[in-house]
Structure 1
Amino acid sequence: MKKKTLVFGASVKPHRYSNFAITRLVSSGHNVVAFGLRKGTVSGVEIDTELIQYPGIDTITMYMNAQRQKQFYHYLTGLKPKRIIFNPGAENPEFFRILEEKGIAFESACTLVLLSTDQY
């Protein structure tokens, strides 16, 4: 298995980028877990609606807008990921400062592009 990834803001709607990301991550061999506001399954990955203390998270790929992220800062940093990728529309300078203080790497990038260019 490659990097364990939490898709945060996952959606069962097939036209959503978080949905595409789950499918691409799974097909690329990554261990994927997902959190969203509605339960469902995408490419065999269950979308959890409760905050779970997933062990061994390498990367969180963020698909939730900055305003909605605020209530999850403590939870997300508590997972101790190596990095958080803020996909387009999820950029959050306030959270960036918190991550810097905690020594968690972050980048504003598109997970789908990173995967397609072997930079994930």
Structure 2
Amino acid sequence: MAQPDNNRRTHIHDTTSNIRRLNDCFRRSLIFGGQTVLTSGVSALDTEAKTALLRQVQTFDAFSRDNDPHGEHDFGAIEHAGVSYFWKIDYYDRARQFASPDAADPAVTVRVLTIMRADEY
């Protein structure tokens, strides 16, 4: 009987942990390690509402198996002033043209965090 490849499992765990750490650091700052994009519905909010919404994204910690099945902390759903919003982190190559070859490596990855109204999805 073959033994499980513990090195592979450890590598996957380390990769996921690193992606999660990079995502959390970027999301909490909204500027370091990536680019933040607001959809037209979010951009149309007044400054006070936008600031409150951005703060909710930065402090989001309600990760679960339902909204974070891969453990990367790359998606969240929040509510502000009775409106549902989503935020999502995607991983692009440095030129922002294709998917990143390795989301765990910040040298080859640009994170793009998009914040949108749920009805814009």
TM-score class, shorter-chain normalisation, is under 0.3
Name the TM-score, length of structure 2 as normaliser: 0.24
Q: Which is higher, the Rg of structure 1 or of structure 2?
A: 2
